[in-house]
Each structure stands twice: as C-alpha cells, then as structure tokens.
Amino acid sequence: MNHISRDDLERYAKGELEERQRDECETHLYSCDQCMSTYMSVLEVIGSSLPDIKEESLFTDQIMQKINEDKIDKVAKRPFYEQTFFHYMLAATLTIILMTSGVFQSLTGYIDEVQRTRLSEETPSITNKILETTFIRINNED
C-alpha cells in the first residue's frame, strides 16, 4: 500500500485536492493508522485556522455559524461546508475526552435536526421551529 505524502495530506486538509484524489485520500485514511496520525499532525500545524476547542462556547458558535451559512446558501457552500465540517468533527474527536459537558451532545442533536431538515425540505416551517427552539436552548446553556 502506498502511503500519502505529507504534502498531499496538507493539500487534502486545505481542500486543494481534486475530487478523485480526495476520495483516494479519504479511503486511505480510513484504513491506515500511520497516515491518519500524520494527518493529525498536519491538522495541528494548520490548527491556527480552526477554533480553539477549549473555548467551548466559541467553538459551538463558530459551528453554528457554519451550519447557518450552509442553510442560507446550500448549493454554493455545501462542498466547502462539508470539507470544513469534517475537520471540525475530526478535531472534536481528538479531544472528545475533554468534552464532558452537554455542549457536544446538544450540538449533535442540533446537527441531527439540520440533517433532518435537509431530508424534509417540504415542511420547513415545523423543522425550522424545532431548529430555533434547539438553538435558543443551546445558547441559554452558557
């Protein structure tokens, strides 16, 4: 099995790979611990562009902002959003032990609602109401 070069992992992290290369990269990362750990260190270097995960409310706010941006302009921003969000989730997984508060679970619930909204576009009024309620609840937990 050929490993992925650090350069390619960096380009992957920055979303600079072509779709086919990106797919190959993802497939390889899922099955190769060595490249995954290299990718983690690449992410640490690039990490300055990611939110400080210890600042939980900031972290949550920035994800909410990404989600809301995506809701507003799904067609144009979806690929960027999914790419970025994958990295957010990866970063979250790295420090999942630290995430002992309810923030993460609330966030997961919120994301579930967003995904459900995508699946049921015909009834936006009800799901939007649920989303608003969930969003207010999360904000009030600070």
- Total binding residues toward Zn ion, as defined by CB under 5 A: 4
Closer of 28 and 60 to Zn ion (Cβ) = 28
18: alpha, beta or left? (left if phi > 0; alpha if psi -120 to 50): beta
> Which listed residue (10, 32, 56, 80) binds Zn ion by CB under 5 A?
32
Kindly compute the dihedral angle of the four CA atoms of residues 112, 55, 80, 89, in this order, to the nearest 10 degrees: -50
Could you tell me if 110 and 134 are in contact, meaning their C-beta atoms sit under 8 angstroms apart? yes
> Which listed residue (3, 14, 129, 137) binds Zn ion by CB under 5 A?
3
42 touches Zn ion by CB under 5 A:
no
Q: From the CB of residue 104, how many other CB atoms can be counted at a distance below 10 Å?
A: 17
In angstroms, what is the minimal distance from the CB of 4 to Zn ion?
A: 6
* Joined tokens for residue 68: 């809301």
In angstroms, what is the minimal distance from the CB of 35 to Zn ion?
A: 3
Task: Show Cβ contacts of residue 51 under 8 Å, excluding neighbours closer than 6 positions.
Answer: 58, 59, 62
40 touches Zn ion by CB under 5 A:
no
Closer of 11 and 138 to Zn ion (Cβ) = 11
92 touches Zn ion by CB under 5 A:
no
Task: Show Cβ contacts of residue 142 under 8 Å, excluding neighbours closer than 6 positions.
Answer: 57
Closer of 35 and 63 to Zn ion (Cβ) = 35
Q: Which stretch binds Zn ion (CB under 5 A): 15-23, 24-32, 65-73, 88-96?
A: 24-32
- Using CB under 5 A, list all residues that contact Zn ion: 3, 32, 34-35
